């Protein structure tokens, strides 16, 4: 069937090179924000289950805690994205980051042992922290030309990946020194 088609073949994709300096110049907020989001989400995503076990959660409660984080983050992307389309994305990023920081700080300071309170705070953290990445990418794309969208997205994805390597690398030792709740010092 392909041989019989009269449709034109698509043009090969352009070669895209990674330009971290250009990525920073395009949007310093997105550049630094994505790196920090990668550190925080990488630490929590990798060490969250370890945290749950160390604070005494059952296997099913650890699974519930981790699932709540992901589900809350997925749900929050809709209102956060809509809000960021109506007002300056930097304000939305700042508000989401502040709520995530408050939730993480409360978990660290209070050290909740009641399952409902812990999962609620972790859900608030997850809702806000997991909505940061798409808003930061949108902010970077606001300043990019359409032909640079792939380069911008690829560079931000690389920065996020670097952050996800750094997060657990520093999160584990922090948890060893401060105890399991120390995970939320870096998230």
Residue-wise pLDDT tens digits, 151-171 = 899 999 999 999 999 999 999
Structure tokens at 84: 């960021």
Residue the block writes with tokens 């930061």: 136
Confirm if 159 and 26 have CB atoms less than 8 A apart: no
Quote the pTM value. 0.87
* CA of residue 96 relative to chain centroid, distance: 11
For residues 95-99, average pLDDT = 97
pLDDT of residue 16: 58
Q: Cα dihedral angle (150, 151, 154, 157), rounded to 10 degrees?
A: -110
Q: Which of 122, 27, 14 is nearest to 72 (CA)?
A: 122
């Amino acid at each position: 069937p392909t041989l019989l088609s009269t449709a034109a073949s698509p043009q090969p994709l352009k070669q895209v090179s990674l330009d971290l300096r250009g990525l920073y110049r395009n949007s310093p907020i997105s550049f630094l924000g994505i790196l920090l989001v990668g550190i925080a989400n990488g630490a929590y995503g990798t060490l969250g289950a370890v945290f749950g076990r160390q604070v005494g959660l059952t296997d099913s409660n650890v699974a519930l805690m981790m699932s709540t984080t992901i589900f809350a983050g997925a749900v929050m992307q809709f209102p956060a994205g809509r809000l960021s389309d109506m007002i300056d994305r930097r304000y939305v990023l700042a508000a989401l980051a502040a709520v995530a920081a408050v939730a993480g700080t409360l978990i660290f300071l209070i050290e909740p042992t009641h399952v409902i309170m812990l999962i609620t705070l972790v859900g608030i953290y997850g809702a806000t922290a997991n909505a940061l990445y798409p808003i930061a990418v949108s902010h970077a794309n606001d300043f990019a030309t359409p032909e640079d969208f792939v380069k911008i997205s690829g560079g931000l994805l690389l920065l996020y990946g670097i952050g996800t390597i750094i997060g657990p690398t520093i999160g584990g030792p922090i948890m060893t020194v401060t105890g399991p709740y120390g995970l939320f010092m870096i998230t």
